Amino acid sequence: MLSERLKSRLVKDRPMTSITLRIPVDVVESMKAIAPQRGFTGYQTLLKLYLSDGLRKDEALFMPAPTARLLEVLKKHGVPQEVLDDAARELRAA
């Protein structure tokens, strides 16, 4: 089941904004060299990929999924850890 946040990211016509970043020239040159090897025509798309990957990792770390929050609440209510572990394994397998 996809979270609402992830579903909103899959929409093609999302509102966009422009930003300015100061990035060392050698980093940009490296991205320009790597982008075609990753299948991208330009380095900006590669940069967006790097931002998305990092953001997803941090969201998973700092913004627990509803399932994780539910397991925490169930634990507080006395559900045995073994049952919670089994449920978590079952959800990961789904």
What domain range includes position 45? 23-62
Q: How confident is the model at residue 31 (pLDDT cuts 50, 70, 90)?
A: very high
* Shared domain check, 57 and 33: yes
**Structural domain contains residue 30:** yes
* Shared domain check, 77 and 56: no
* Shared domain check, 68 and 58: no
**Structural domain contains residue 11:** no
Alpha carbons 48 and 42: distance in angstroms, whole number: 11
* Shared domain check, 42 and 58: yes
In this predicted structure, what is the pLDDT of residue 89? 83
- For a pLDDT cut of 90, what percent of the chain falls above it? 40
**Structural domain contains residue 94:** yes
pTM of the model: 0.59
Q: What is the arithmetic mean of pLDDT over 34-41?
A: 96
The helix/strand/coil state of 43 is: helix
Please spell the DSSP secondary structure of 15-78, one letter per residue.
----------HHHHHHHHHHGGGGT-SSHHHHHHHHHHHHHHHHHHHHS--HHHHHHHHHHHTT
